[in-house]
Amino acid sequence: MDKLAITGGAQLEGSVTISGAKNATLPILAATLLTDEPVCISNVPHLQDVTTTIELLGRMGAKVTVHEQMEIEVDAAEITERQAPYDLVKTMRASILVLGPLLGRFGEADVSLPGGCAIGARPIDVHVKGLQAMGADVDIIDGYIRARAQRLHGAHIVMDVVSVTGTENLLMAAVLAEGETILENAAKEPEVEDLAEFLISMGASISGAGSSKMTVRGVERLHGTNYRVQPDRIEAGTFLVAAAITGGHLRLKKVNPSHLENVLQKLQQAGASIEIGDDWIELDMRGRELKSVDISTEVYPGFPTDMQAQFVVLDAVANGAAAVTENIFENRFMHIPELQRMGANISLSGNTAVVRGVNQLKAAPVMATDLRASASLVLAGLVAEGETIVDRIYHIDRGYECIEEKLRQIGAQIRRLP
């Protein structure tokens, strides 16, 4: 199992090109199942979760071609297996995203239940109730969600909780349904908007994407398209934190600053100087004092839960004390015991971590437990004294493209140990 070895202390300086967004790519790849015409997707990040999705599509019978620079062509004309098996779903919960498209186009889908997850229970009631409202029979049999429908029909659905993949699944199911579907309490995340734009480019009729109410008018069929995936706002935020905590100076290229408003505001509060352009962000922390910032995670446009662990590290080395409250997932604090082992002063009470900044973290062998927790351990390694070894980094490879190469390019001392 690969590990990362990081020697702390380098001030990061230079520029990094941000990759395509993982959480936009996964639903867009799933949505290619909605048409029998070839679809071409560019700016796809080279990540383990993307490889898993390609394998899933391939097992169903889709022909997937990976061209240069991760341009991916999917031809889903012949889908023989309408199933997402356990061995793939267990490694990537987002496999549930094939449920809506399979049911919408073929009227049948068998998707393994994702089961528990390191960051909390993560139920699927929003997905199931919404599909039932659109006329599907949904049963749970032998650990599989078994969904059947003649043709889905439009429905007025008010989702109980704001769920990103729940909204995406129902959106993908609705585009080929008969009549109009209204999705209320929908997720407003930029990745949902990207999926909607992709579906519109295939001929879908959708309005309101990016707001909490979406209206979908079902169409008979969708056609092929070429589409470029939006930049990854979480990768961007993670690199900005890396620059801030090392007192560095970083320019991010090919990024969408409007997706990061809340994160940029928090970085400014923490003392960073930030400039933005159409598709770039520059952060300068040289000679500036790093100050603690309170964080409370919310659905978009609030502060993203996927940036919480990274800001715990920022607070762990900043001047002052701060409260970090996690409101989206229970049990998303598994980075904390690892950071404590590196000398961080953090006490946990319910869903709030009180973080008191210390002068210096100390290197230690640490273990990655989930995607964003792993990123936080890499960040901690960048500022710790000595060499930090981060084990189980397959979690990082699920969501960060070439993380060690990108960090090395801006001055970090980091290497992969096979």
Q: Which residues of 313-332 are buried (b: 16+ CB within 10 A; e: fewer)?
A: bbbbbbeeebebebbbbeeb
Considering only the stretches 137-145, 156-164, 271-279, 333-341, report the one whose residues sit in contact with ligand UD1 under the rule CB under 6 A. Answer: 156-164
Question: Is residue 27 a contact partner of residue 408, using CB atoms and an 8 Å limit?
Answer: no
Residues in contact with ligand UD1, shown as a per-residue x/- string from 207 to 246 under the rule CB under 6 A = ----------------------------------------
**Out of 6, 31, 164, 309, the residue judged to bind ligand UD1 by CB under 6 A:** 164
Specify the residue for token string 């409007």. 258
Q: Which is nearer to ligand UD1, 75 or 191 (CB)?
A: 191
Residue 163 contacts ligand UD1 per CB under 6 A: yes
Min separation Cβ 149 and ligand UD1, Å: 19
Q: Which is nearer to ligand UD1, 191 or 397 (CB)?
A: 191
Strands 137-141 and 144-148: antiparallel
Q: What are phi and psi of 382, to 5 degrees?
A: -65, -25
Considering only the stretches 39-47, 119-127, 236-244, 340-348, report the one whose residues sit in contact with ligand UD1 under the rule CB under 6 A. Answer: 119-127
Q: If you count DSSP H runs as helices and E runs as strands, how many of each does the chain have, helices first? A: 14, 24
Q: How far apart are the first and last CA of the chain?
A: 7
The site that binds ligand UD1 (CB under 6 A) totals a number of residues, namely: 21
Min separation Cβ 305 and ligand UD1, Å: 5
Q: Which is nearer to ligand UD1, 161 or 417 (CB)?
A: 161
CA–CA dist 388, 394 (Å, integer): 17
E strand or H helix at 272: none
**Out of 122, 253, 341, 362, the residue judged to bind ligand UD1 by CB under 6 A:** 122
CA–CA dist 266, 57 (Å, integer): 39
Min separation Cβ 326 and ligand UD1, Å: 10
- Is 40 part of the annotated catalytic residue set? no
CA–CA dist 275, 364 (Å, integer): 35
Q: Which is nearer to ligand UD1, 49 or 75 (CB)?
A: 49
Min separation Cβ 122 and ligand UD1, Å: 5
Q: Which amino acid is at 27?
A: P
Question: What one-character DSSP code corresponds to residue 397?
Answer: H
Residue 158 contacts ligand UD1 per CB under 6 A: no
Q: What are phi and psi of 36, to 5 degrees?
A: -95, 5
Considering only the stretches 54-62, 157-165, 205-213, 342-350, report the one whose residues sit in contact with ligand UD1 under the rule CB under 6 A. Answer: 157-165
**Out of 94, 157, 170, 410, the residue judged to bind ligand UD1 by CB under 6 A:** 94
Residue 123 contacts ligand UD1 per CB under 6 A: yes
**H runs (alpha helix) in 175-301:** 190-201, 233-245, 261-269
Q: Which is nearer to ligand UD1, 77 or 161 (CB)?
A: 161
Considering only the stretches 57-65, 98-106, 125-133, 175-183, report the one whose residues sit in contact with ligand UD1 under the rule CB under 6 A. Answer: 125-133
Secondary structure (3-state) at 102 = helix
How would DSSP label each residue in 321-384? EEEEE--S-TT--THHHHHHHTT-EEEEETTEEEEE--S--B--EEE--SHHHHHHHHHHHHHS
CA–CA dist 416, 418 (Å, integer): 6
Tokens at 368, concatenated: 């990655």
Residue 127 contacts ligand UD1 per CB under 6 A: yes
Specify the residue for token string 């598994």. 334
How would DSSP label each residue in 7-35? E--PPPEEEEE--B-HHHHHHHHHHGGG-
Residue 166 contacts ligand UD1 per CB under 6 A: yes
**Out of 34, 47, 76, 124, the residue judged to bind ligand UD1 by CB under 6 A:** 124
Residues in contact with ligand UD1, shown as a per-residue x/- string from 311 to 350 under the rule CB under 6 A = -----------------xx---------------------
Q: Which is nearer to ligand UD1, 112 or 165 (CB)?
A: 165
Tokens at 110, concatenated: 């068998």
**Out of 26, 62, 102, 380, the residue judged to bind ligand UD1 by CB under 6 A:** 26
The residue annotated as part of the active site, out of 117, 140, 321, 417, is: 117
Min separation Cβ 72 and ligand UD1, Å: 17
Residue 305 contacts ligand UD1 per CB under 6 A: yes
Does residue 337 have a cis peptide bond before it, meaning omega lies within 30 degrees of 0?
A: no
Q: Which amino acid is at 10?
A: A
Min separation Cβ 166 and ligand UD1, Å: 5
Annotated catalytic residues are: 117
> What is the contact surface with ligand UD1 in residues (CB under 6 A)?
23, 26, 94, 120-127, 161, 163-166, 191, 305-306, 328-329
